[in-house]
Amino acid sequence: MAPEGQGGGWWPEPEERKPQREGQGEGEGRQPPRGLESRGRSRPPARYSMFVGLAFFALIIVALFNLIGNDDAGILGAGSGEEGAPLAEFAVPDALGSSDADANVFQDDCESSRNPCPEDQQRVPACEIDPAEAIRVCDLFDKPLAISFWFTRGGDCVPWQNAFDVAARRYGDRVNFLSVNVRDDREKVTEIVKANDWRVPVGLDPDGAVSNLYRVGGCPTMALSYPGGILYDARTAYEPGEIDGFIEELLTASRRRQEQTR
């Protein structure tokens, strides 16, 4: 969380009353109100104003970095109306494996809508690649599923992943767990996994394709789904100690949903 700033704001002191010259009325000879402009402070030059504008624009670009190329607006977990949608399929290299490929996020077998698909536009969907080469999210749809997204650049998400791994050990017989690292080097991720003795599967998203697909805007972010890969909820900006509660909620909601569909 950002450090607490000082409250309040700057307000101008009242204008000193200037002596009236002879012949001037009560409202004559006064300077117009200065609003919130500080007396005695010169206006910033145009170059400074342009710099501030460019800096603000850069912050917006950074905030939207993970949303580039995604047609859906918003950040996963930041809004309502997402529940009940099918999870997008993907396959990611195992952090402890040897594949140096990028994540596969293809939802179908053709780059175009032409039928039949031209030979030069054919591709292998994420959940049809060899399971020995990657972790396929669709293989985890047989149970309720928790997916945790994390990274080390710009923040320390390891404490949340430690708690996620503990939850995976506690609930692993009833819930599937998958940890997805975004954009970190394999060597660094492998070192973290081994140093913390994580048992949860950790996949790599080297170019951020899965992060973009799921509209991940920060760490921690968790996607929770019913069996069958149907989104139950998404959580962001939570404390490590809240993860067990999320899993209990997912199990309860999954049981209720199963009873309603009988």
For the chain, the structural domain boundaries read 91-260
Checking if the pLDDT of 33 tops 50, the result is: no
Q: Max CA-CA distance within the chain?
A: 95
Q: Which residues contact 81 (CB under 8 A, 6 or more apart)?
A: none
Strand locations in the chain (E): 91-92, 135-136, 145-150, 176-182, 202-205, 221-226, 230-236
- Any idea which of 7-21, 115-129, 139-153, 187-201 has the lowest mean pLDDT? 7-21
Q: How confident is the model at residue 141 (pLDDT cuts 50, 70, 90)?
A: very high
Checking if the pLDDT of 2 tops 70, the result is: no
- pLDDT tens per residue, range 222-259: 999 999 999 999 999 999 999 999 999 999 999 999 99
Distance CA 229, CA 137 (A): 9
Strands 145-150 and 221-226: antiparallel
The pLDDT assigned to 144 comes to 98
Give me the mean pLDDT over the 179-184 stretch: 97
- pLDDT tens per residue, range 91-108: 999 999 999 999 999 999
Name the CATH topology of 91-260: Glutaredoxin (3.40.30)
The pLDDT assigned to 154 comes to 80
208 near 183, Cβ under 8 Å?
Answer: yes
The pLDDT assigned to 48 comes to 42
65 near 103, Cβ under 8 Å?
Answer: no
Q: What is the reported pTM?
A: 0.71
Q: How confident is the model at residue 153 (pLDDT cuts 50, 70, 90)?
A: confident
